[in-house]
Amino acid sequence: MKKFDAIVIGGGMVGAATACGLAMQQQRVAMIDPVSPAPFDPSLDPDLRLSAFSLASGKLLQQLGAWPLIEQMRLTPYTELQTWESGMTQRLTFDCEQINQPQLGWMIENRLVQLALWQRCEQLGVAIFPWQDWQLDQSHSEFVSVQSGGEQLMGKLVVGADGANSRVRQQAGIGVSGWDYRQRCLSMNVKFTTPISSVTWQEFHPSGPRALLPLYDNYGALIWYDKSATIKQLQKLSAANLKAQIEKAFPKLESDFELLDWASFPLVRRHAQRYIQGRIILAGDSAHTIHPLAGQGVNIGFKDVAQLLKLAHEYEGQNVSVWGGQYQRCRKADNLMMQSTMDLLYKSFSHPHPAVAAVRKLGLQLAQNSGALKKQALRYAVGV
């Protein structure tokens, strides 16, 4: 039987960040995850799973000491975000200069962020257990036990960060509400023949947005959201045929490109009914999944981590029941607002009615010229 202050279940980006942060507060921490991130190999093409990290997420990774490790691998700053509706000339542009920042954020492969955080966990003495099948036992008042095979860990706090299909959430008996968007997202890595700009953009179509994420060394990611059936058909095409479809469906790209790799992901919105149950707390995708059109999923997960670490520090040594309610109130409301904003965007841009289209056009014009309000929205999105 091994005793810990905290046991983090799931060592994805959110779980590993939580484990690091708690270990930096001198807590004895265990992290459970059956899959460790593969080592960095600079000769390989970028992974398909990558995210746009906000300035606030960059700050958290700095505080956790993971940022220099990520910089030693690779990341791509982006300086401008443009969005528009297909067939319309009006663009909504967000520029880092509007908020006096050198960039709006960074495109980074998820695995590299996770890898840097695992390296920090090892440096900080986090005990890592490669378990997949474990059982939670909450019958003791002083601790939660996690058992696998003949082994048992005891923790005063258990953080469930085991992703969208969280087993922690299920074993804690926490329900979820949500829906399937009946859409998929096709993520395609490409290599351009000439350098492209550091602008990320999104073009809205009634069937879903299409987007470009710029990456290092002429690489980029093209993202295509559409009905599940359409995406599944596209996914089966040969590289040459899929490239031909991209050329028809996307706006003209800055340069010719080679299509390297592609995969699709289902889009599901979920929200846990509670973030806390006894000594168990949920964070990241185990608590919420969101439409990825504005690239906020891991960023709101990192906001959970920042809040959890802040409260754990403020209430050092105290039972999670003292501060868990505060964590839930703060994070649930913020995450719900972000989920609802994404849904509003998604629904309004996919609505074909001409009256809605006219309101949309007016909305884009107003937003583009809204000055202080636009700056405020941008500050909220990037977290400064």
Ligand X SMILES: Cc1cc2nc3c(=O)[nH]c(=O)nc-3n(C[C@H](O)[C@H](O)[C@H](O)COP(=O)(O)OP(=O)(O)OC[C@H]3O[C@@H](n4cnc5c(N)ncnc54)[C@H](O)[C@@H]3O)c2cc1C
Select the residue interacting with ligand X from 85, 162, 203, 226 (CB under 6 A): 162
Size of interface with ligand X, in residues (CB under 6 A): 31
CB of 107 to ligand X, least distance (A): 8
Which residues, 6+ apart, have CB-to-CB distance to 28 below 8 Å?
3, 4, 5, 6
Which residues in 168-207 contact ligand X (CB under 6 A)? 185, 187
The position carrying tokens 């649930």 is 332
Closest CA to 37 of 104, 97, 114: 114
The position carrying tokens 């993520």 is 187
Comparing CB distances to ligand X, the nearer of 132 and 365 is: 132
Which residues, 6+ apart, have CB-to-CB distance to 354 below 8 Å?
none
For the window 346-365, what string marks contact with ligand X as x by the rule CB under 6 A? --------------------
Select the residue interacting with ligand X from 22, 75, 161, 276 (CB under 6 A): 161
Using CB under 6 A as the binding rule, whether residue 11 contacts ligand X is answered as yes
The position carrying tokens 């980006």 is 13
Select the residue interacting with ligand X from 111, 120, 167, 269 (CB under 6 A): 167
Q: Which tokens belong to 237?
A: 């095409």
3-state secondary structure of 351: coil
- Looking only at the bridges linking them, the beta strands covering 219-227 and 176-192 are antiparallel
Which residues in 244-273 contact ligand X (CB under 6 A)? 265
Helix H or strand E segment including 364: helix 354-368
Using CB under 6 A as the binding rule, whether residue 163 contacts ligand X is answered as yes
CB of 302 to ligand X, least distance (A): 8
Stretch of 28-36, 174-182, 321-329, 360-368 lying at the interface with ligand X (CB under 6 A)? 28-36
Closest CA to 75 of 222, 284, 217: 217
Comparing CB distances to ligand X, the nearer of 52 and 234 is: 52
Position with the least CB separation from ligand X: 12
Question: Which residue type is seen at 221?
Answer: A
Pairs from 310-314 (Cβ < 8 Å, separation ≥ 24): 312/6, 312/21, 312/22, 312/25, 312/27, 312/157, 313/25
Which residues in 316-345 contact ligand X (CB under 6 A)? none
Q: Name the residues that contact ligand X, by CB under 6 A.
A: 9-15, 32-35, 51-52, 110, 132, 161-163, 167, 185, 187, 265, 284-285, 292, 295-299, 301
